[in-house]
Amino acid sequence: MRCPQKRGKSNAFLERKIQTDKHELWAFQEGYTVEWLNEILDSLDRWNHVHNHVRPHQSLGYLTPMEFLKAWLEESKDGDGVFTI
């Protein structure tokens, strides 16, 4: 999982792990390149967007996670911070 833009330091251990894997682990795997790994990471970014912003989740009352979060934040402003579906 990538950190939000301009917040790369918010998860330094994970970022370091990704960089180490890119430049050390995958360098020893025949046929795998940094470009290939970047394509995989880009695909994961696209899927994470769909998963969090487009795809409704049954467990969240058929809201997307971002819709659920927005509703929860609005509810928290007006009440005691409890959100029910």
Q: How do the domains of the chain map onto residue ranges? A: 1-54, 57-85
pLDDT at 29 over 90: no
- Residues β-bridged to residue 63: 57
pLDDT at 54 over 70: yes
H helices of 1-85, where? 12-20, 34-49, 65-78
CB atoms within 10 A of CB 40: 12
pLDDT at 35 over 70: yes
pLDDT at 13 over 70: yes
pLDDT of 84 reads 58
Nearest to 54 by CA among 68, 64, 41: 64
Counting residues of the chain whose pLDDT is more than 70, the rounded percentage is 76
What mean pLDDT is predicted for residues 79-83?
57
pLDDT at 1 over 60: no
CB atoms within 10 A of CB 26: 16
